[in-house]
Amino acid sequence: MVERSQKDVWRLAPWLMIALLLGNFVLMAFDAKVEGGERVIRAWTETVADFVQSPVTTVTASVSNYFSSIANLRSAQDENGELKKRVQELEVETQQKKALDAENERLRSLLKLKEQSKYNVLIARIIGRDPSAWFDSAIVNRGSLDGVRLNMPVVTDGGLVGRITAVSPLTSQVDLITRDKSGIGAVVGQIGESSALGVVTGTSKKELLEMKYVTGSTDVQLGQTVFTTGQDGIFPPGLKIGEIVNLVSGSATTPHQIEIQPASRLGSMQEVGILLYEPPDRGEFEQKLPNAVKKK
Amino acid sequence: MEGVRLTIALIIAIILQWTLPGVWEGFAFIDFPLIVVVYAALQRNSIRALLFGTIAGISVDALSGGLLGASGFSKTLVAYAVSEMARRVYLDNLILRIPVIAGACFVNDLVYYGVHRLLGQTPTADPVTTVAYSVIGTTIAGTLVYLAMQSFSADRARMRKRKEMFAPRRQTRRRNPIRLGK
């Protein structure tokens, strides 16, 4: 081990800082550039993190379940010790059963979704949330070994949740629809019945989406449901996004201002379904657009 | 020995940052690795602080929806600034460390937000609210951690002093005053 004097350390520090900042900047630039493609460094870091995250998530979930069960026992405090202990045990058991019932219900609805869906659905468990407070993303316990690919849609029985943005062999990262970078081709009401087409994006308000570019002359009502159109080339058509909760009607020259509440409970979901859906080839898709220059 | 202890603390901080936001969303506003990075920088070891900043940042970025390296960039910058400040100004007092951790968190968040905007990525969260909550959360957690570490090191110093006070007297070898044979 080389012992350095304090003077050497102070002389070396600015150079090391510059080198590290440059390294980080190169990483950022690389990550920003390959936004739509395979993010190799992230995928492997996620794999390493999974070995820690999965067991810790399991342990913390069971510990927090236990403590939340104990927290519900305040009413039994006046009873005598033996009875109190017995009630506590029973209450913990009941709470555990309730949690199991709720989990069963969630899984049952996902199974229903799997049966009803036109696409193959892979059930996944959320094992982590975004560690920073800045972005809406989650980590699920399914990766490329399970057949997950980039940009696959993620849903619950309620509706659309987001899409896969990074895949490692064992885990994947999901960007939620509330993220303002997400742009989903959407329609108010059923496709074919409505001409209120637009793009759904996230807003700075959590749990609220915005639908842009809907022509002001189209008929839009509060409480109507918004579905995907499939025109974004990522999500299949017909997936439920949410319901209109706020509407400022536009005119012939200005678009409607529409706010949507997502159909899925994004804050409290624990299991999700990944649609094993591969969108049609972009080139082929773009050739179908009315204003595209057709190849001879 | 100090380096090993700080490395262990950093690993624990990264694991906490990975897992606690899953238990309760509010924990995302506490930047556990930053607390350790600032503590390392306050020890006036710039190189260790810089390396800690980069490693902690990239580890957090790996599971975040943001750009890989953005948090590494901001934490490295903060580590350097704090270690340079600690070299020039006396910051061994806990009262003085509280504004340092608050300022470090503020600068870290601003740089993080700034580099994302610079590279065309807009974070989802509202910047003012997120920075405010983050500064409050990290400052409170950092103060508690530093308080605990200070009392721990004070206890150890007291133990050492007591040991020195009641140390067994050194047995000096005496010569036998009655010299036999002479």
Same-domain status, A47 and A167: yes
pLDDT surpasses 90 at B103: yes
Task: Give the separation between CA B114 and CA A211, rounded to whole angstroms.
Answer: 27
Same-domain status, A120 and A193: no
SS3 A96: helix
Same-domain status, A167 and A65: yes
pLDDT surpasses 50 at B64: yes
| pLDDT score, position A100 | 79
Task: Give the separation between CA A224 and CA A189, rounded to whole angstroms.
Answer: 6
> Chain B interface, mutation test: which of A24, A39, A203, most B Cβ atoms within 10 Å?
A24
| pLDDT score, position B44 | 76
Average pLDDT of span A49-74:
71
pLDDT surpasses 60 at A27: yes
| pLDDT score, position A92 | 74
B139 touches chain A (CB under 8 A): no
Packed helices B2-23 and B46-62: angle between N→C axes, nearest 10 degrees: 20
Chain A residue numbers with beta carbons less than 8 Å from the beta carbon of B112 are 132, 134
With CB atoms and an 8 Å threshold, state whether A132 touches B23: no
Please report how many Cα atoms fall inside a 13 Å half-sphere around the Cα of residue A75, on the Cβ side: 4
Q: Quick check: is B176 in a domain?
A: no
Structure-token pair, residue A61: 């979930």
Chain A residue numbers with beta carbons less than 8 Å from the beta carbon of B114 are none
Q: Tell me what the pLDDT averaged over chain A comes to.
A: 79
Q: Label residue A171 left, alpha or beta by phi (over 0 means left) and psi (-120 to 50 means alpha).
A: beta
Q: What is the pLDDT of residues A233-266, one digit of tens each?
A: 888 888 889 999 988 888 888 888 899 999 888 7
Q: Quick check: is A245 in a domain?
A: yes
With CB atoms and an 8 Å threshold, state whether B69 touches A26: yes
pLDDT surpasses 70 at A283: no
With CB atoms and an 8 Å threshold, state whether B69 touches A24: yes
| pLDDT score, position A296 | 47
Give the minimum alpha-carbon distance from A161 to chain B in angstroms, rounded to a whole number.
Answer: 15
Average pLDDT of span B65-76:
87
| pLDDT score, position A150 | 87
Amino acid at A241: I
Question: Is-contact A278 A233, C-beta < 8 A?
Answer: no
Q: Name the residue facing B125 among A52, A134, A175 (closest C-beta).
A: A134
| pLDDT score, position A37 | 59
| pLDDT score, position A76 | 52
Confidence of residue A179 (pLDDT cuts 50, 70, 90): confident
Same-domain status, A153 and A192: no
Share of chain A above pLDDT 70, in %: 81
> How many domains does chain A fold into?
2
Q: Quick check: is B32 in a domain?
A: yes
pTM, entire model: 0.65
A58 touches chain B (CB under 8 A): no
SS3 B32: helix
Q: What is the pLDDT of residues A63-84, one digit of tens each?
A: 767 776 666 655 556 566 777 6
Burial class (CB in 10 A: 0-12, 13-18, 19+), B154: exposed
A93 touches chain B (CB under 8 A): no
Same-domain status, A72 and A169: yes
A128 touches chain B (CB under 8 A): yes
With CB atoms and an 8 Å threshold, state whether A28 touches B19: no
Confidence of residue A292 (pLDDT cuts 50, 70, 90): low
Q: Quick check: is A147 in a domain?
A: yes
Domain that holds residue A103: 40-176
Q: Name the residue facing B65 among A30, A136, A204 (closest C-beta).
A: A136
ipTM over 0.85: no
Q: Quick check: is B181 in a domain?
A: no
pLDDT surpasses 80 at A3: no
Q: Quick check: is A223 in a domain?
A: yes
Q: Which of B14, B12, B129, B24 is nearest to B71 (CA)?
A: B14
Q: Quick check: is A208 in a domain?
A: yes
Confidence of residue A282 (pLDDT cuts 50, 70, 90): low
Task: Give the separation between CA A168 and CA A128, rounded to whole angstroms.
Answer: 14
Q: Quick check: is B166 in a domain?
A: no
Average pLDDT of span B57-73:
84
Chain A residue numbers with beta carbons less than 8 Å from the beta carbon of B59 are 45, 49
What are the residues whose beta carbons fall under 8 Å from the beta carbon of A62, sequence distance 6 or more? Answer: none
Confidence of residue B105 (pLDDT cuts 50, 70, 90): very high
| pLDDT score, position A116 | 67
Q: Cα–Cα distances in Å, from A211 out to A43, A185, A220, B173?
A: 32, 9, 12, 92
SS3 A200: strand
Q: Which of residues 209-248 of A touch B (CB under 8 A)?
A: none
Q: Name the residue facing A9 among B29, B45, B69 (closest C-beta).
A: B45
Give the minimum alpha-carbon distance from B181 to chain A in angstroms, rounded to a whole number.
Answer: 55
- Residue B127 or residue B152, greater confidence: B127
CATH number at residue A249: 2.40.10.350
CATH number at residue A137: 2.40.10.340
Average pLDDT of span A112-128:
78
- Residue B112 or residue A2, greater confidence: B112
Domain that holds residue B152: 2-158
φ, ψ of residue A94 in degrees (nearest 5) = -65, -45
Chain A residue numbers with beta carbons less than 8 Å from the beta carbon of B18 are 49, 52-53, 56, 128, 131
Q: Quick check: is B112 in a domain?
A: yes
Q: Quick check: is A285 in a domain?
A: no
Same-domain status, A85 and A205: no
Q: Tell me what the pLDDT averaged over chain B comes to.
A: 83
List the single range of A8-12, A138-142, A219-223, B92-96 with lowest mean pLDDT: A8-12
Give the minimum alpha-carbon distance from A166 to chain B in angstroms, rounded to a whole number.
Answer: 9
**Residue B116 Cα to chain centre, angstroms:** 25
List the single range of A235-239, B45-49, B90-94, B125-129 with lowest mean pLDDT: B90-94
> How many domains does chain B fold into?
1
Question: Is-contact A183 A191, C-beta < 8 A?
Answer: no
pLDDT surpasses 90 at A62: no
Same-domain status, A89 and A208: no
pLDDT surpasses 50 at A1: no
Q: Which of residues 4-23 of B touch A (CB under 8 A)?
A: 15, 17-23
